Amino acid sequence: MTLTRHDIRKAAFQTLFAVRSNADADPKQVMLQVLDTEEQTDSALPEYLVTLVEGVIKHEDELNDAISNYLKKGWTVKRLNKTDLLILQIAVFEIKYVTDIPAKVSINEALQLAKEFSDDKSRGFINGVLANLI
CA dihedral of residues 83, 113, 48, 28 (deg, nearest 10) = 40
For the segment 15-42, what is each residue's pLDDT rounded down to a tens digit? 999 998 888 888 888 888 888 765 666 6
* 3 state SS of 124: helix
| Residue 111 pLDDT exceeds 60 | yes
Q: Which domain holds residue 109?
A: 5-133
Tens of pLDDT, residue by residue over 48-106, are: 999 999 999 999 999 999 999 988 888 888 888 899 999 999 999 999 999 999 989 99
What pLDDT was estimated at residue 33?
A: 87
The CATH number that applies at residue 40 is 1.10.940.10
Residue pair 106/93 in contact (Cβ under 8 Å)? The answer is no
pLDDT value at residue 75: 84
Q: Which residues contact 47 (CB under 8 A, 6 or more apart)?
A: none
In the chain, the number of structural domains is 1
For residue 124, pLDDT over 90 is answered with no
Contacts of 49 (CB under 8 A, 6+ apart): 3, 8, 11, 12, 15, 31, 35
State how far the Cα of 52 lies from the Cα of 89, in Å rounded to an integer.
10
Q: Are 31 and 18 in contact (CB under 8 A)?
A: no
Query: pLDDT at position 53, please?
Result: 93
> Which pLDDT does position 22 carry in this prediction?
87
Q: Which of 43-52, 83-92, 107-116 has the lowest mean pLDDT?
A: 43-52
For residue 96, count CB atoms less than 10 angstroms from its CB and return exposed for 0-12, middle for 13-18, buried for 19 or more.
middle
pLDDT classification of 1: cutoffs 50, 70, 90: low
Mean pLDDT of 125-132: 88
Question: Residue 108 pLDDT > 80, yes or no?
Answer: yes
